[in-house]
A = this chain, B = another copy of it.
Amino acid sequence: MEIPVMSNILNKNDENAAALNAMLTSRGIFTVNLLGSPGCGKTSLLEQTVRLLKNEHTLAVIEGDLYTSKDADRLAEYGTPVVQINTRGGCHLDASMVKAALAKLDLATIDILIIENVGNLVCPAEFNVGEHAKVVVLSITEGEDKPLKYPLIFRQSEAIILNKIDLLPYTSFDMDAAICDIRGLNPQASLLQTSCRTGDGLTAWIEWLKTRASQTRRQANTI
């Protein structure tokens, strides 16, 4: 009974997302849909990203959250343009929410846009929001069994970040098993290991972002 309704919602969202994606590509704004469980470290990664990139790129951030502006407040301290979307209990962002948020940004000044989705490893994977790439963050404290338990989000992500590696010595996380499972689901994904506390692995993440941003800029120039 639920399936036709859900299917219509997804089709309409995909249309909206495709239109947003075309607009963002034409402007050369590389756009990331940043995904992961509550507390996996999405906002901490964003803080480090803004700090490390702000002299070379002009970033903007859209923050998805159920009710609060806690994450947006953290990022606003870095002087980056941030727009808050509150879903009022909704479990994911959709393309129409992102479109409304984009109206509050000066797109002419931005070359990288990062959309932090609601903390949820399930629902956001089903809703494109106009992004060029999904990136999923998995905290190693969540356990190495999560990729196989939540496969869609790991299959769809172009980069997969194993975060909080500073806690590896204090957990039983099996890195080899995690990498093996992730590779089985998604052989092409860029696989990164980071700690936002120690800074480990952030250089590789920043390089990934820069490379993808320059690809989008070249694509815009050929349109």
In the bound complex, how far is the Cα of B141 from the Cα of A39, in angstroms? 7
Beyond A37-B38, A68-B149: 11 further Cβ-contacts under 8 Å? Answer: A2-B5, A2-B9, A37-B37, A38-B121, A38-B142, A40-B142, A66-B122, A89-B152, A119-B121, A120-B122, A141-B141
Whether B91 and A149, one on each chain, are in contact in the complex, defined by CB atoms closer than 8 angstroms, is no
A39 touching B122 by the CB < 8 A rule?
Answer: no
Interface membership of A174, Cβ < 8 A? no
Interface residues of A toward B: which range?
Answer: 35 or more
Asked, given contacts A67-B149, A149-B68, whether A123 binds B91 with beta carbons under 8 Å apart, the answer is yes
Binding site for B on A (CB under 8 A): 2, 5, 9, 37-40, 65-68, 70, 89, 91, 118-123, 126, 139, 141-143, 145-146, 148-152, 164, 166-167, 170-171
Q: How many copies make up the complex?
A: 2
Option from B39, B70, B149, B166 in Cβ contact (under 8 Å) with A148: B70
A164 neighbours in B (Cβ, 8 Å): 141
